[in-house]
Amino acid sequence: MGFLAVCGGLLLLTSFIAALTAFIGQLIILAAVIFGGWIAVQLFSASSHQGGTTVNIRKAVIKRNHFHG
């Protein structure tokens, strides 16, 4: 009877470890997806800021050339 109780406990422990491993794996995947999305947002926002800066530089150059001309 003691052997059956130990087997049941080991089976429960094995199931718990398997569930915990799957949960940790899902957390790692979720963190990777969130981090990848954050990097994508940073890249897209940086490229849009660069375009705006280029337009402002062109306007400044045109104004400066017009002022000296």
Confidence at 9, pLDDT banded by 50, 70, 90:
confident
C-alpha 59/C-alpha 55 separation (Å) is: 6
**Looking at residue 58, what is its pLDDT?**
56
Helix, strand, or coil (residue 69): coil
Give residue-wise pLDDT tens across range 35-58: 998 888 888 876 655 544 555 555
**Looking at residue 46, what is its pLDDT?**
64
